[in-house]
A = this chain, B = another copy of it.
Amino acid sequence: MEQLIVIKIGGNVIDNTPVLEKFLSDLCVIDGPKILVHGGGKLATELSTSLGIETKMVEGRRITDDATIRIVTMTYAGFINKTIVAKINACGGNAIGLSGVDASLIPAARRPVKDIDYGWVGDILASRINTNLLSALLSAGLTPVIAPISGTAEGHLLNINADTIAQSLAVSMSSLYQTTLLYCFEKKGVLSDVRDENSVIPLIRISEAAELKANGTIGSGMIPKIDNACRAVSDGVSQVIIGRSDDIISIANNKHGYGTRISH
């Protein structure tokens, strides 16, 4: 099977223009099919503040009322998505910006209200991801750039977690491609010593993860990321890599000390 890389970038890349521009020009150098999923960064919060709309977060998730779904759609699917696409294409890439509503790429449903009403926050209907469209775009040499917005079956826009989109897309595309999922964060990889940036653990096998968590090698802050990565690998992704956006060329070239691979 052909190889595919699904890359997730978040606020630490998006909010820093020089870092974002270096990342996007590096991305253009990496051959082969790629999908880029981006989060939102601080722009939505800044716009809300400027408009006098209160930002409410619960456990890191944005409570998305009527005013907020407009703001996140404007910032994520509008300014951030088109800025990234324009910059990739200016570097000689061939990106196409999409959200989950486009061609019903990522069907979703509003999250049911239990203890918390998240508002217009959605959960992905993973079995219905439009892998045919993504595959056709990739075959045409395009790099889909996905904003974390989708919609209900009735056509109401929804705010979706970008990490979850990246994971769901990577799992779905694993039926068609040998898929690597790369989460960019602020460190070179998972560190065996949090005080030493050079103590990157190069490889974590999912069979070893439980022991590395139990003996403290994987710090508590990394546990949710590692758990998600192990689940993605169990669900069909060939490998998950956790590393720094600044290092994607070194990561793509398997250079030692850059990125932690989680695999079978």
Contact = CB atoms under 8 A, between A and B. Distances in A.
A149 interface: yes
Interface in A74-115: 74-79, 81-83, 85-87, 89-91, 94-99, 101-104
Contact of A89 (B50, B51, B90, B151): B151
Contact of A86 (B51, B98, B140, B156): B156
Given A47-B74, A77-B77, A86-B157, 5 more contacts: A73-B83, A85-B102, A94-B104, A97-B101, A133-B140
The 6 closest A-B pairs by CB, nearest first: A78-B78, A90-B155, A74-B74, A86-B151, A74-B78, A86-B155
15 contacts: A70-B79, A74-B74, A77-B77, A78-B79, A82-B157, A86-B101, A86-B155, A86-B156, A89-B151, A90-B152, A90-B154, A94-B104, A95-B102, A97-B98, A97-B101
A82 B51 CA distance: 21
A136 interface: yes
A189 to B, nearest CB: 30
What is the interface residue range for chain A against chain B?
35 or more
A142 interface: yes
Interface in A146-175: 149, 151-157
Interface in A97-143: 97-99, 101-104, 133, 136, 140, 142
A149 B70 contact: no
A136 B103 CA distance: 13
Contact of A79 (B50, B51, B74, B156): B74
A96 B102 contact: yes
Interface in A41-59: 47, 50-51
A155 B154 CA distance: 35
- Interface core residue of A78, A83, A99 (most chain B CB under 10 Å): A78
